[in-house]
Amino acid sequence: MDFNLSEEYQMIKEAARDFAQYELKPEVIQRDEEQKFSAELVGKMGDLGFMGMMVSEKYGGAGLDALSYALALEEIASIDASAAVIMSANNSLVCFGLEKYGTEEQKQKYLLPLASGKKLGAFALSEPEAGSDATSQHTTAVDKGEYYLLNGTKNWITNGGTASTYIVIAQTDVSKGHHGINAFIVEKGMEGFEIGPKENKLGIRSSDTHSLMFTDVKVPKENRLGEDGFGFKFAMETLDGGRIGIAAQALGIAKGAYDLARLYSKERKTFGKPICEHQAIAFKLADMATEIEAARLLVYKAAWLKDQGLSYGNASAVAKLFASEVAMKTTVEAVQIHGGYGYVKEYHVERLMRDAKITQIYEGTSEIQKIVISRDLLKH
Burial class (CB in 10 A: 0-12, 13-18, 19+), 210: buried
Cβ(138)–Cβ(152) below 8 Å: yes
Angle ∠(154,151,157) on CA atoms, nearest 5: 15
Closest CA to 110 of 209, 186, 14, 7: 186
Among the listed residues 221, 238, 55, 62, the one whose alpha carbon sits nearest the alpha carbon of residue 146: 221
- Identify the DSSP state of 199: P
φ, ψ (nearest 5 deg) of residue 216:
50, 45
185 φ, ψ (degrees, to nearest 5)? -90, 120
Element (H, E) at 225: strand 224-225
Q: How far apart, in whole angstroms, are the C-alpha atoms of residue 90 and residue 67? A: 17
DSSP secondary structure letter of residue 340: G
Q: Who contacts 216 (Cβ-Cβ below 8 Å, separation ≥6)?
A: 149, 150, 151, 192
DSSP for 139-172, written as a single string: -EEEE-SSEEEEEEEEEEEETTTT-SEEEEEEES
Query: What 3-state class would DSSP assign to 64?
Result: coil
Catalytic residue among 23, 199, 291, 363: 363
| Upper half-sphere CA count for residue 211 (Cβ side, 13 Å) | 14
Distance from C-alpha of 91 to C-alpha of 109, rounded to nearest angstrom: 17
363 as an active site residue: the answer is: yes
Phi-psi region of 44 (alpha: psi -120 to 50; beta: other; left: phi over 0): alpha
Q: 114 and 165 in contact (C-beta within 8 Å)?
A: yes
Q: Are 62 and 49 in contact (CB under 8 A)?
A: yes
Q: Give catalytic residue positions.
A: 363
